[in-house]
Amino acid sequence: GAGVSQSPSNKVTEKGKDVELRCDPISGHTALYWYRQSLGQGLEFLIYFQGNSAPDKSGLPSDRFSAERTGGSVSTLTIQRTQQEDSAVYLCASSSPDSLNSPLHFGNGTRLTVT
Amino acid sequence: LAKTTQPISMDSYEGQEVNITCSHNNIATNDYITWYQQFPSQGPRFIIQGYKTKVTNEVASLFIPADRKSSTLSLPRVSLSDTAVYYCLVGFRDNYGQNFVFGPGTRLSVLP
């Protein structure tokens, strides 16, 4: 079946512009995560949505970052007034409601370059 | 948050068994141990998960001692295509948040 889909796959933007990154999780998956990965580094947690609960925003690095999940499905990560240090690959993952520790299924990410 | 320590890199040769050990001294009762594999330009992919003792699937085995303060991912007879970064995660999630972090992982290079 279809996996996690992210768009765009690549995004180049000028410093100071806003960007929106989209994630389509696997159908029926109630948990959705956003991570950020800088070149050669591990994954940095950003935000976690679980069903209708309030999202865990503890990983968002600044108030320029926000995310929403409409209808419990598609999620959008928005970065306002982008800075060069925001350049990274942004990864989305979803997981099944079968158990709270079901594995994460990742998309291939959006590579963001801020010039 | 449960913290993990893994070797930064490892080299192996085709056909060998590779064991990657992860230390997690402050693992909590509710924590699971999960391993992911990541190839360049792709998101991580789930390999195996366990809570205690030994778990085996079609691609790997996971050994967890009784104290659960470490775990070892075992890849039998690796091939060149197993060259990737391997991440060990310890933690759990619930309706209120998640308490696991991805560390830098172990970069495995399989040589011919």
Per residue in B25-82, pLDDT (tens digit) is 888 888 889 999 999 989 999 999 999 999 999 999 999 999 999 999 999 999 999 9
The A-side interface with B (CB below 8 A) comprises 4, 31, 33, 35, 41-45, 48, 50-51, 53, 56, 58, 91, 93, 100-101, 103-109
Q: Work out the pLDDT band at B84, boundaries 50, 70, 90.
A: very high
Residue B107 CA to residue B84 CA, distance in Å, equals 6
CB A92 within 8 A of CB A4: yes
A115, pLDDT greater than 70: yes
Inter-chain CB proximity B36 and A104 less than 8 Å: yes
Residue B62 CA to residue B74 CA, distance in Å, equals 6
Q: Work out the pLDDT band at A96, boundaries 50, 70, 90.
A: confident
Lowest mean pLDDT among A95-109, B37-51, B80-94: A95-109
Write out the E strands in A14-74.
19-24, 31-37, 43-50, 65-69
Closest-CA residue to A112 (of A5, A7, A10, A6): A10
- Return the DSSP state at A87: -
Asked if B105 has any chain A CB less than 8 Å from its own CB, the reply is yes
